[in-house]
Amino acid sequence: MSTLEIRDLHVSITADDVEKEILRGVDLTINSGETHAIMGPNGSGKSTLAYSIAGHPKYTVTGGSITLDGEDVLAMGVDERARAGLFLAMQYPVEVPGITVSNFLRTAKTAVDGEAPKLRTWVKDVKEAMGNLRMDPAFAERGVNEGFSGGEKKRHEILQLELLKPRFAVLDETDSGLDVDALRVVSEGVNRAQENTDLGVLLITHYTRILRYIKPEFVHVFVDGVIAEEGGPELAERLENEGYDRFLTAGV
Ligand code: ADP
Ligand code: MG
Ligand code: MG
């Protein structure tokens, strides 16, 4: 079993020469096979948490730690984090013009495993994963994210998850633009990865909609850069009914 541990994490961003603290002491422990949902109002720092785990250079960690089985994740470069078993699907995936999905996946797999996958098995694995996601084989020859619809971006993300077999996945979902079919693809992919590889999942979302498909055992409510409340699935149901108002007026 693996553990991803975030301790008293403080993160700042600098915009227009002004440094602003966004994460103000986040504590979170995720074990293999567990699903944690981070929920919270817009601007509460959810994506900042995802980017910080990913090692995005714009986000400066000013305090605290992130460790994976005791290894210092913050000391790792972005590639090292992927090799250590972290998978980070970003909210706004970048276009990689001229690189096909097929080449992108093979390059990513080689980077994560430290060696190129055997061609015969790889072709079979890609075919199977694409079949699982009900993807047209022609998709593999398209440019990465070039003209992808919201649903195609999601399928591409989950395709990576299936093929790279990470230990932990951080999925930052806007949920916006995702139809029911895409939500189902994401949730089925995540559930499959949990069954097959005991994946630990951190699912970041504003809306409760996706939680009808992916059932988190743990729900953390994020407000103003800290976890304001924690609970089980019942907390997500409560947020669905009540929204975030209760948290936004708390402490006033
Ligand atoms: P969420 O994902 O919960 O909506 P974010 O992490 O995106 O929240 O944003 C948290 C706060 O940090 C917001 O006030 C946002 O304006 C600010 N912020 C985040 N990223 C940047 C950035 N790259 N440049 C400037 N401000 C940012
Ligand atoms: Mg603190
Ligand atoms: Mg966000």
ipTM score above 0.85: yes
**What CATH number is given to the structural domain containing 164?**
3.40.50.300
| Residue 42 alpha carbon, nearest atom of ligand 1 | 4
- Contact assessment for residue 175 and residue 205, using Cβ atoms and an 8 Å cutoff: yes
Total structural domains within the chain? 1
pLDDT at 173 over 80: no
**Separation of 138 CA from ligand 1 center, angstroms?**
36
Average pLDDT over residues 146-151: 83
Share of the chain above pLDDT 70, in %: 94
Enter the DSSP assignment of 76.
Answer: S
Q: What is the pLDDT of residue 174?
A: 60
CA distances from 111 to 28, 85, 95, 193, 199 (A): 28, 11, 19, 20, 19
Closest ligand to residue 60's CA: 1
| Residue 225 alpha carbon, nearest atom of ligand 1 | 10
Q: What is this structure's pTM?
A: 0.91
**Separation of 207 CA from ligand 2 center, angstroms?**
27
Q: What is the pLDDT of residue 61?
A: 98
pLDDT at 250 over 80: no
**Separation of 1 CA from ligand 1 center, angstroms?**
33
Assess whether the C-beta atom of 43 lies below 6 angstroms from ligand 1.
Answer: yes
Write out the residue range of the structural domain in which residue 151 sits.
Answer: 3-248
Alpha-carbon gap, residue 187 to 184, rounded angstroms:
5
Closest ligand to residue 7's CA: 2
Assess whether the C-beta atom of 18 lies below 6 angstroms from ligand 1.
Answer: no
Mind listing the pLDDT tens digit for each residue in 192-247? 999 999 999 999 988 788 888 888 999 999 999 999 999 999 999 899 888 888 88
Mind listing the pLDDT tens digit for each residue in 31-87? 999 999 999 999 999 999 999 999 999 999 999 999 999 999 999 998 899 999 999
**Separation of 45 CA from ligand 1 center, angstroms?**
6
Average pLDDT, the chain: 89
Q: What is the pLDDT of residue 176?
A: 60
